[in-house]
Amino acid sequence: MHVVVLVTTPDVKEAERIGQTLLGKRLAACVNIMPSIRSRFWWRGQIERCDETLIIIKSKSEVFDEIVESVRAIHSYEVPEILALPVKDGFSEYLAWIDDAVKRRGHQEKSG
């Protein structure tokens, strides 16, 4: 199943590191980085406010656990937002591109 994964970070620099890592490991077909979103949320009994950067990741559910592991290894938040939203439908050629771009380790094409 195809998924869109949402991750918020404190800044663009951290978002770039996470995005590059996921692409490098072929855990994502595409990563969109949206700087300067305003977040309001409950944390430790209080409403917090901060500016964050949103990462929108196009991937597959079969690699979600690896995405979580990779994001947690880099992310500076104690409890980072990592949410996978299922893709109910989409343009078939775009979904096929995601399938081709997201390869599980050991299933990548051999080069050289």
Q: Give tens-digit pLDDT for 26-71.
A: 999 999 999 999 999 999 999 999 999 999 999 999 999 999 999 9
Q: In the predicted model, what is the mean pLDDT of residues 13-29?
A: 97
| Within-domain flag for 107 | no
Residue with tokens 């656990």: 65
Residue 83 has pLDDT above 50, yes or no: yes
Q: Which residues are CB-neighbours of 17 under 8 A, at least 6 positions away?
A: 74
Full domain range(s) for residue 36: 2-101
CATH of the domain at 50: 3.30.70.120
Q: Give tens-digit pLDDT for 89-98.
A: 999 999 999 9
- The radius of gyration of the chain from alpha carbons, rounded to an integer in Å, stands at 15
pLDDT of residue 103: 79
| Within-domain flag for 111 | no
Distance from C-alpha of 93 to C-alpha of 70, rounded to nearest angstrom = 28
| Within-domain flag for 68 | yes
Give the chain's length: 112
| Within-domain flag for 43 | yes
Distance from C-alpha of 68 to C-alpha of 43, rounded to nearest angstrom = 21
User: Helix, strand, or coil here: 54?
Assistant: strand
* Domain count for the chain: 1
The answer, as to whether pTM is greater than 0.85, is yes
Between 12 and 112, residue with greater pLDDT: 12
| Within-domain flag for 108 | no
